[in-house]
Copies of this chain bind each other. A is one copy, B any other.
Amino acid sequence: MRPTVRPTGFIPPLCTPLTPDGAVDTRSLHRLVEHVLDGGASALFALGTCGEAVFLTDEQRRTVVRTAVEAAGGRVPVLAGVIDTTTPRVLERAREAAGLGADVLVATAPFYTDTHPAETADHFRRVRAETGLPLLAYDIPSRVHTKLPPAVLLELAEDRTLVGLKDSSGDLDTLRHLLVALRRRGLDRRFSVLTGSELTADAALLIGADGVVAGLGNVDPAAYTRLHTHATAGRWPEAVTEQNRLTTLQTLTRAADPATMSGTAAAVGAYKAALELLGVIDCRATATPLRPLPQESVEEVRRRLEEGGLLPG
């Protein structure tokens, strides 16, 4: 096994730029990596939910990991999502990502199927054993429809199956119990808690989270880096001010009429429209079958970028 990478800091869940006909746009992805590294990202997270991982074929996923690893060029570690329904399929994704040079793997509990805590624990243990790479558990009940039980996470922290947690559950009360329990067992130094809540990163850092994975950080990575730096330095009012500003900026994800497309289409579409407007990626296309963002919504995204000081008004 490689020496463990324990992720902390601001880690953008990279959007996956696509060409108008749905291919991975590797040139744009290279530019996106430079954009977030310029903004202070401490690592890259490829193939997360925001990266439309579940809309990409296995071949496309390999292209994304290969490109992210190339683009990172060893400057920062690359975390790779290995999102698939169950263990046998996740093991394939894990081998592929490891073979392409990913530094850390990120896996959810099984989905589509129901799962028992003992089965979920076994799942993570097998993924960890398959490649020897550090493994983050990805808790995202809105997609997976189960919540990772804190007792399972503690067990898998204790036995070193997991190097950390990406918590996209929005359930800060349960996270609090976990953070306190990790500390009581002396595990908080080797187990990394990353919040996936882009609007309450300040709060999560206050209570003990180690890092932030925020989709909006594709658009404004420097702000999340500032937020994290303020928090680390104990400058909480400044962290809050930065987060409040980002909360306003994040309303760009509502630029589209929710009666006309899914929330994913609206949010990822808006991030990509922003990146196109900022000149980072060539095309704002999202994957099939997501509805495209209409032109008036793109204009709305532009106004939010102007308001947020990211584009000249």
Binding site for B on A (CB under 8 A): 22, 49, 54-58, 60, 83, 85-89, 92, 110-116, 118-120, 122-123, 126, 143-145, 170-173, 176-177, 180, 183-184, 197-200, 202-204, 206-208, 234, 236-237, 240, 243-244, 247-248, 251, 260-265, 287-291
Chain copies in the assembled complex: 4
CB atoms of B143 and A112 under 8 A apart: yes
Tell me how far the C-beta of A202 lies from the nearest C-beta in chain B, rounded to whole angstroms.
6
Q: Which 3 A-B pairs have the closest CB atoms?
A: A203-B203, A54-B85, A122-B289
Distance between Cα atoms of A200 and B199 in the complex (Å)? 15
Distance between Cα atoms of A99 and B130 in the complex (Å)? 32
Distance between Cα atoms of A234 and B234 in the complex (Å)? 11
Choose among A58, A83, A198, A289 the residue with the greatest number of B CB atoms under 10 Å from its CB.
A289
Residue ID in chain B nearest A268 by CB atoms: B113
A261 CB contacts on chain B under 8 angstroms: 116, 118-119
Distance between Cα atoms of A113 and B173 in the complex (Å)? 20
Choose among A49, A172, A291 the residue with the greatest number of B CB atoms under 10 Å from its CB.
A172
CB atoms of A177 and B247 under 8 A apart: yes
26 contacts between A and B (CB under 8 A): A54-B86, A55-B86, A57-B89, A60-B88, A85-B85, A86-B287, A87-B287, A88-B288, A112-B144, A115-B264, A116-B265, A118-B291, A119-B291, A120-B289, A123-B288, A126-B288, A170-B173, A172-B172, A173-B200, A177-B251, A180-B244, A180-B248, A203-B204, A206-B236, A207-B243, A234-B237
CB atoms of A112 and B83 under 8 A apart: yes
